Amino acid sequence: MTLHYQELGSGDTVVILHGLFGSGDNWLTPARELSRDFHVILPDMPNHGDSPHGTSMQYPVMASETAAFLGEREPVHLIGHSMGGKVAMALALDYPELVRSLVVVDICPVRYEPSHIRILEGMQAVSEEAPDRRTAADAVLAEYIPEAAVRGFLLKSYDARSARWKLNVPLIHGDYTHILDWPYEKGVISAPVMLLYGGRSSYASPEARSAMRDLAPAIHEHCIESAGHWVHAESPDETVGAIREFLGA
C-alpha cells in the first residue's frame, strides 16, 4: 500500500505512526524538533488522512501495510502513539528486520474497554447528513460529543468540499473490536523499546505496563507525570527530550 506521508530533515530515519482518528499532522510539531537530528517520516495510516482505504483494521494487516510502505529502507526508529503504537509493536514482532528501535507512546499490548462509541455514532451521523460546512458538521457532532477540543480534532479529517470524512468510518466502526484488542498471544520484541506514557492516562495502568514488560523485557519506561493520553500534545518538550535521549541524539 502506498501511504500518503510528509518527511522532514536528514539523518537516520524516524517513522511516526499516529493514533486512531488522526493523521500524520498530529505529530508535526514534535517531528519538526526531531528533524534537527533525524530524517522524520509522518505517514497517514491506512484508512486515515490522505492514505488509501483498505479492507481491515486488524493489527497484523496494518503492520503488513506499513511494512510495504517502508519497503527497502534500512531499519528505522519507529514511534507509535495509541493505535499507531499497537501497529508499531505488531510491526516489530512480524517484521523485526525493519525496526531499529521502538518508542511506544501511551498504549500497551492489552485489550481496552470501548471508549469511542459516541464518537463513532457522531461521525456516522455526520456521514448521513453530509454537511458542506465544518461548522454544520460540528453542530451535528455536538449532539454526541460535548468536548469542543475532541470535535475539533475529529473535524481535521472532515472534507467539507466533498462533504465526507477522509477517515474510513464504516471500516473503523466494523473493526472497532479489533482495534481495541491485541491479537498476539506470544512473542518478544528484540529491538530496544521505550514506553513513554502520561501519568494522568488510563492507557498505561500497572497491569498494562506488566504486559508491556512481557513483550519487551528490557524495556525503558518514561512517565510524563503531568500528561494524559495525548502526551506529545500536552508535553511536547518533555516528549521530544525523552525520545532524543532514548535515540542517543
d(Cα 235, Cα 155) in Å, to the nearest integer? 23
Q: Could you give the 3-state DSSP secondary structure of residue 149? A: helix
Per annotation, catalytic residue among 23, 51, 64, 82: 82
Query: Can you tell me which residue has the cell 495525548?
Result: 230
d(Cα 71, Cα 98) in Å, to the nearest integer? 9
Per annotation, catalytic residue among 39, 77, 229, 232: 229
d(Cα 220, Cα 216) in Å, to the nearest integer? 9
Count other C-beta atoms under 10 Å from residue 161's C-beta. Answer: 7
For this structure, is 229 an active site residue? yes
Helix (H) or strand (E) holding 243: helix 236-247
Q: Which residues are designated catalytic?
A: 82, 229
